[in-house]
Structure 1
Amino acid sequence: MGARPGPWLQWMRLGLALMSVLFFAGGCATLPAEFERTPSKALPASADTPLGRIAQSSQPDPDLSGFRLMPGGDFALHTRLELARRAQRTLDVQYYQIYNDETGRYFLRTLRDAALRGVRVRLLMDDLYTSGEDELLLALAATPNLELRLFNPFPAGRGSMLGRFSASLFDFTRVNRRMHNKLFIADGAMAVAGGRNIGNEYFRQTAGANFIDLDTFVAGALIPRLASLFDQYWNSEHVRPIETVVATAVPREQRQRRFEELTGPATTPAPRPLAPNDLLGYSPIVEDLKAGKLDLIWTRAEAYADSPDRVIGRQANYGGIPLLDVDSVRYNVIEQIRRGRSDVTIVSPYLIPGKGGLEAMREVRGRGMKISVVTNSLAATDEPVVHTGYRRYRPDMLRLGAEIHELSSQRTRRSVRLGLFGTQVGRLHAKSAVIDGRVLFVGSMNFDPRSDVHNTEIGLIIFSREMAQQVLKLIDVLKQQGAYRVRFAPGTERIEWVSDEGGEEQVLTSEPDSTLWDRLMLELIAPLAPESLL
């Protein structure tokens, strides 16, 4: 909850990691004693609910899943809210971060309203960004029919990020591993999955810089698989009800009244009205729900999520020999790339390929595959420390012949078409890949060490030429109107940034849109930022 703290969090993580090596463990805060766990399971779709009936009547084949991409944040938010309002049996909701802003509070209030109607609401949040929000979350958890659980919780110092990491100094390895998943399932019949957290800047609800992100609406055969992945986390030993982490003597009724005060109309206005159509020409999903028929792309798909046991570094092995984690998101995405024949386009806001990723690129380039990468520029990223890791691999990727584009906050603001993403578009947050123009990955996974090792992720692999082409068209707009192409200056290995402004090629020789101070800081921190912690 709350605004993203930015690059200082990574430095704090680094400092605490080093301190934990220098000092022996002692006096470390620990979670309260074990409690009685109450497992529960996802409820299957039923024709007894409107969402269940619509989903079943819209599905042309029991083996197919239906999808609709949602590049527009306002449409993505509206879809979640409409599903919550129309759910009658259950809502299973899993997020890395829910901001304590207008969008976050409105979202939580909508879940509260569903619970008061008798809907079983299971809300699972990662505990990293809940600093200072215990009052709001405990107030929400006082709602009948709603249970709020925290993934990998911090035991103490909960009022601030610094306090909670300091209190967990000697447990840093554990608390540094987080649940990055994003998933929303309504009545076991319809879902939303992708890259968005819940907050103003993810849904085009701020006049400041909005993220460019991507979600997909889901129905059909994939829903039971998504529900089982949710259950795997919900019932994990690394998850606790908030009441077992944060003690409170405030009566339930008083907490309910406090939630009403904290999320009332004075502080939590409704989201802005929607445009008639989104970037892909779709009308709001509510029109389909009203008509009783989903207009989706029906195709074959797979879903994967990393094991919640990643929080303790547990890895599958046989006789002490590590095994490939064939259910992990990264393994399956890389396998799809390795099976490619012609080209792959990767979109990742935080891109650090590492030696393994670079080797995979070298392998597919050796077979003649084209590689195109879109990521944030230094000026566009909200994590400049991560940019130091990306920068180390940029020359190697260029030497391999990869095409690299970096999103420009200035160019996106000048683009009329990209303005449809938000009043000001400054940052890339979408995570996707397109292989051979026919296989699409959409999910929460960045192509970086944190997603590969420390965080858990969720991802969908969709076998649809139509959807893959939709994403490629969106990416082409980003490349042409909102990004710089990175290249070596002719005859050298000096990096240049190139754009087409009014039909004329513009060439820059330093990180675009950045200040001298930005570049100086990058040079200073680069040697101090270990790749394993980025």
Structure 2
Amino acid sequence: MSGCSLPSLDNRTISSALLKSEARATRIGTAVATRADQHPGKSGIYPLPNPYDAFAARMLLAKAADRTLDVQYYIWHKDITGTLLLEALHEAARRGVRVRLLLDDNGISDMDEDLKTLDSHPNIEVRLFNPYIVRKPTKWLGYVTDFSRANRRMHNKSFTADNQATIVGGRNVGDEYFGASNGVLFADLDVLCVGTVVDSVSSAFDSYWASESSYPVGLILTRVRGNRMEQLTMAADAVERDPAASAFVNTVKRSVFINELLAGSLNLEWAHTRMVSDDPAKGLGKAEAKGLMSHQLEEVIGAPGSDMVLVSPYFVPTAAGVDAFRKMAGRGVKVRILTNSLDATDVAAVHAGYAKWRKDLLKSGITLFEMNSFSSVTAGRKSKSSIGSSGASLHAKTFAVDGKRIFVGSFNFDPRSFNLNTELGFVIDSPALARQIGALFDSAVPTYAYKVLLGEDGKLYWIEKQGEKQIRYDHDPRTTCWKRGLVFLLSMLPIEWLL
């Protein structure tokens, strides 16, 4: 490919999700049909807070697929979990399953050859969203030469088998999201869903797949040198034999999840569930207001009446958001928010966009918690809570309103999710799930997070609970002067709209 402009999309292959009539004849479709018919208009929900279970669910859905797999992610790393899941897609294709893989080009470092190799399989097609023309090692030049487009990313996350079962939530594909990394584990939340709403996810996937921002990988990447398909499988075999992968391989082997799903015995909660998603035209700055997730969320959820619990790893409220929370609290709504502490965050610039609003939020009557990284708390202890882990950084995006409904998806409460990135999620009418999230704030959150308070002198302080003890910090806990100074300087820059 010559030049620095994007290629024409005139000759793309046209494809769409599996028809409902055909989807019901698959193993998954047959298994869920009777239960779905017993709950007309509802969807079956199965939360996946545990990272090992979340990984196993994706692997096993790939193995259970008979006809199609539609997979969409912002980040896909070339590591243990990323390699194993890529091979699971490859294995499905060898069985005759049609695989469509749509990835944002911002989060696939060192994956070019693997993706082009997969794309060479007759049953696999790979597309890149908002791709960069210049590849490694100067891929970053795309931001300089085409900033307005390259700054808009596809943040959606979905894994759909046979248009009958889908996994949607906050997790990307990579070791840090599934607990295979020796570094930070992103505490996250996905849900497996069957029933009515799956068709909405498939329709959204089709829209992104056929959008102006979706480019066949063959138009962007250079040809693969030689036949690498066998090398891809051998690399996956080597990863599977690696002792570091044993916990994941064994989790998949032990999991009864897919057997229960196919037997119709998986403990699903049936609830009215609506998908909310940005129009893919947002990736080019062309979406109308009604096509934005923020607009849809406002319509679907409405104004909280009594209680709102919000979990967002990247929380940048802005002046407008602070005013909205202030008005909520003024109406008597109890608002509790959990985000990352400076010690736990993986993006200091985003924390800077949040930190400058803490005092205003607290003055408005909002309760603030910040996730503890656990880097130095009870060494060696690990938790299976959906929000805590040794060396944890919060990555879940969820909120509950009035103890009646919840949101689970990719949407962060920051300007980037509102205005720049495309997002996807579910609004689930489930008092049971809403109560679970509320209960976390009553029990687990005070254990795993600092409570941020405002003293009579107008200064912030943090309270950490360690057993029966309470420890007070007069600055961001477990951080250096240098890091706090950096965040202060970043908070002075006019970059809030980018965060």
Q: What is the TM-score when the length of structure 2 is the normalising length?
A: 0.92
Match of 2:236 among 238, 263, 269: 263
Query: Which residue of structure 2 aligns with residue 19 of structure 1?
Result: none
Alignment map for 1:471-482 (pairs within 5 Å): 471-482=437-448
1:131, distance to aligned residue in structure 2 (A) = 3.3
Task: Say if 2:28 is the partner of 1:55.
Answer: no
Query: Which residue of structure 1 aligns with residue 331 of structure 2?
Result: 367
- Matched AA of 1:202: Y
1:346, distance to aligned residue in structure 2 (A) = 0.5
- Matched AA of 1:532: W
Query: Which residue of structure 1 aligns with residue 316 of structure 2?
Result: 352
Cα 1:363–1:380 change in 2 (3 A) is same
Distance in 1 between residues matched to 2:98 and 2:69, nearest whole Å: 6
Match of 2:305 among 341, 346, 360: 341
- Matched AA of 2:84: Y
Distance in 2 between residues matched to 1:173 and 1:451, nearest whole Å: 15
1:265, distance to aligned residue in structure 2 (A) = 1.9
Alignment map for 1:39-78 (pairs within 5 Å): 39-45=14-20, 46-59=23-36, 60-78=38-56
Gaps of 5+ in 1: 1-26, 278-282, 317-324
- Matched AA of 1:436: D
Cα 1:200–1:529 change in 2 (3 A) is farther
1:171, distance to aligned residue in structure 2 (A) = 1.1
Query: Which residue of structure 1 aligns with residue 415 of structure 2?
Result: 449
Query: Which residue of structure 2 aligns with residue 31 of structure 1?
Result: 6
1:477, distance to aligned residue in structure 2 (A) = 4.1
- Matched AA of 2:266: L
Cα 1:65–1:266 change in 2 (3 A) is closer
Query: Which residue of structure 1 aligns with residue 60 of structure 2?
Result: 82
Which portions of structure 1, spanning 4 or more consecutive aligned residues, are displaced by more than 6 angstroms? 274-277
Distance in 1 between residues matched to 2:61 and 2:450, nearest whole Å: 38
Distance in 2 between residues matched to 1:113 and 1:66, nearest whole Å: 27
Cα-Cα RMSD = 2.4
- Matched AA of 1:184: F
| Percentage of identical aligned residues | 36
- Matched AA of 2:24: A
Once the two structures are superposed, what CA deviation does each residue of 1:124-173 show, in whole Å capped at 9, x if it has no partner? 000002233211111121222010000010011x113xx22324523111
1:197, distance to aligned residue in structure 2 (A) = 0.2
Query: Which residue of structure 2 aligns with residue 17 of structure 1?
Result: none
Match of 2:91 among 113, 118, 137: 113
Query: Which residue of structure 1 aligns with residue 112 of structure 2?
Result: 134
- Matched AA of 2:281: D
1:53, distance to aligned residue in structure 2 (A) = 0.6
Match of 1:97 among 53, 75, 78: 75
Answer yes or no: is the 8 Å Cα contact 1:51–1:187 preserved in 2: yes
Task: Say if 2:150 is the partner of 1:175.
Answer: yes
Task: Say if 2:395 is the partner of 1:429.
Answer: yes
Cα 1:97–1:413 change in 2 (3 A) is farther
Which stretch shifts more, 177-186 or 301-310?
301-310
SS state of the match for residue 228, structure 2? helix
Query: Which residue of structure 1 aligns with residue 127 of structure 2?
Result: 149
Query: Which residue of structure 2 aligns with residue 306 of structure 1?
Result: 278
Q: What is the TM-score when the length of structure 1 is the normalising length?
A: 0.86
1:71, distance to aligned residue in structure 2 (A) = 0.6
Cα 1:466–1:243 change in 2 (3 A) is same
Query: Which residue of structure 1 aligns with residue 449 of structure 2?
Result: 483
SS state of the match for residue 168, structure 2? strand
Say how many residue pairs are matched.
Answer: 489
Distance in 2 between residues matched to 1:28 and 1:525, nearest whole Å: 37
Query: Which residue of structure 1 aligns with residue 266 of structure 2?
Result: 294
Match of 1:191 among 146, 149, 166: 166
Gaps of 5+ in 2: none
Once the two structures are superposed, what CA deviation does each residue of 1:69-91 show, in whole Å capped at 9, x if it has no partner? 11101001101111100111000
Answer yes or no: is the 8 Å Cα contact 1:79–1:285 preserved in 2: yes
1:273, distance to aligned residue in structure 2 (A) = 5.1
- Matched AA of 1:40: S
Query: Which residue of structure 1 aligns with residue 136 of structure 2?
Result: 159
- Matched AA of 2:112: D
Once the two structures are superposed, what CA deviation does each residue of 1:21-75 show, in whole Å capped at 9, x if it has no partner? xxxxxx9822234441222110034332110111112222221101011110100
Answer yes or no: is the 8 Å Cα contact 1:155–1:168 preserved in 2: no
Cα 1:440–1:342 change in 2 (3 A) is same
Task: Say if 2:175 is the partner of 1:200.
Answer: yes
